[in-house]
A and B are shown apart, each in its own frame.
Chain A
Amino acid sequence: DVKVTQSSRYLVKRTGEKVFLECVQDMDHENMFWYRQDPGLGLRLIYFSYDVKMKEKGDIPEGYSVSREKKERFSLILESASTNQTSMYLCASGTSGWDEQFFGPGTRLTVL
């Protein structure tokens, strides 16, 4: 059974804190993605990676960075959390071509 896991389901942080969100997949997928979901805005792509140490900006990368040191792990970093980064964060992985992306359960982050 394919699996994408995220380090936390719920997280509460203070403004200005550095936040790490971890994602691990066990499917040997080359592509990994970070999205955020907000009401009325759908899923918006923050960053993605198509190989170890490779990354590309998505549609809303400002205020975020990522790290992919191993194929199975993709981390999202909020350098200095702000209240407008309160959101549901979703990690996904997938292969190239005619295939779907598999999503993790999500992390609900609240920044106070």
Chain B
Amino acid sequence: DQQVKQNSPSLSVQEGRISILNCDYTNSMFDYFLWYKKYPAEGPTFLISISSIKDKNEDGRFTVFLNKSAKHLSLHIVPSQPGDSAVYFCAAKRTGGSEKLVFGKGTKLTVNP
């Protein structure tokens, strides 16, 4: 049973435009959500997070939106740059529990110059 879903395996956008990556979750106990970026042959690097008490968190070009009622979050990258081309993983956890992160399967973003 997949608790965190990224339904788009890939996304292609033009440089300078907005990239929107989506993530859905099923476990209502999750209260902390994270996005990681991963280049080939490297470990994932943390990008941005949001707790369930917020509906938006912004860090430079990256903004994460959380819609708790829909159990949906999205990552917006504006403007997109070729260096943003990577696989993006959405992850969720229930704080105060086992501290396990549950990951989605990832979305491969390609930003074309």
Taking Cβ atoms with an 8 Å cutoff, the residues of A that contact B are 4, 9, 31, 33, 35, 40-45, 48, 50, 56, 58, 90, 92, 94, 96-98, 100-106, 108
Contacts and interface: CB of A to CB of B under 8 A. Distances in A.
Interface of chain A: mostly helix, strand, loop or mixed: strand
Interface in B28-74: 32, 34, 36, 41-46, 49, 51
A106 B42 CA distance: 6
A42 B6 CA distance: 10
B68 to A, nearest CB: 16
B105 A45 contact: no
Contact of A102 (B46, B51, B91): B46
B100 A45 contact: yes
Interface of chain B: mostly helix, strand, loop or mixed: loop
A4 B43 contact: yes
A104 B41 CA distance: 11
B9 A98 contact: no
B102 to A, nearest CB: 8
Given A40-B105, A42-B104, A108-B41, A96 B46 contact: no
A100 B100 contact: no
Contact of B99 (A9, A31, A104): A31
Given A42-B103, A48-B98, A100-B46, 6 more contacts: A41-B105, A43-B89, A56-B98, A98-B51, A103-B36, A103-B43
Interface string B86-102: 00010100011011111
Contacts of B95: 96-98
Nearest to B98: A56
Contacts of A50: 98-99
